[in-house]
Amino acid sequence: MKIAVRHSARLSVGAAVLALALAAAAQAQAPAPNPHLARNLAATCANCHGTNGNALGEMKSLAGTPAERTIALMTFYKTTAQPEGVTIMHQIAKGYTDDQIKLIAGYFAAQQPKK
Ligand code: HEC
């Protein structure tokens, strides 16, 4: 019994060392951040707000909008259960993290408005 206990203790130390080594190796090989992440996230808004934030018709364009404005509106939509007069953005905004909203807002701020 004593031997088995010592054996398993040694095993779990070995397993911990192995886990640490694997974690270090995984970190060393972590893929570089996707340079297109902001554009890809912003593309999820294109159905309604147009390609690169240039909307057609009456829909609000997001192209050229200062990032602070988009962040403020998205945060408002995200944190408000049912804002008056808002039909869909309170549902959409809740699907994005604060970091994703910052990336999206930065992307649209850098786009050239066409109208
Ligand atoms: C399904 C259509 C749809 C999609 C997709 C969509 N929006 Fe909207 N957006 C709207 C509508 C409609 C409004 C007007 C407010 C409302 O009724 O919800 C709006 C309003 C806004 C406004 C306020 C504009 C202003 O100046 O008043 C911002 C900012 C915004 N959307 C950002 C986004 C972002 C960022 C995304 C992508 C993550 C997105 N929207 C995706 C439909 C959409």
Q: Render pLDDT for 47-60 as a digit per residue (tens, 0 to 9).
A: 999 999 999 999 99
Those residues with Cβ within 8 angstroms of residue 34's Cβ, 6 or more apart along the chain or in another chain? 40
d(CA 97, CA 107): 15
Q: Which atom from ligand 1 is nearest to the alpha carbon of 69?
A: 29
Which residue is closest in CA terms to ligand 1's atom 36?
45
Which residue is closest in CA terms to ligand 1's atom 42?
48
d(CA 74, CA 15): 45
Ligand 1, CB cutoff 6 Å, lining residues: 44-45, 47-49, 60, 62, 70, 73-74, 86-89, 92, 104
Q: What is the pLDDT of residues 61-85, one digit of tens each?
A: 999 999 999 999 999 999 999 999 9
Give 35's pLDDT tier (boundaries 50, 70, 90). confident
Q: Which atom from ligand 1 is nearest to the alpha carbon of 87?
A: 17
Residue 29 has pLDDT above 80, yes or no: no
Which residue is closest in CA terms to ligand 1's atom 10?
89
State the CB neighbour count (10 A cutoff) for residue 101.
21
14-47 burial code (b ≥16 CB/10 A, e <16) = eeeeeeeeeeeeeeeeeeeeeeeebeebbeebee
Most confident of 2-6, 12-16, 82-86: 82-86
Give 30's pLDDT tier (boundaries 50, 70, 90). confident
pLDDT of residue 103: 98
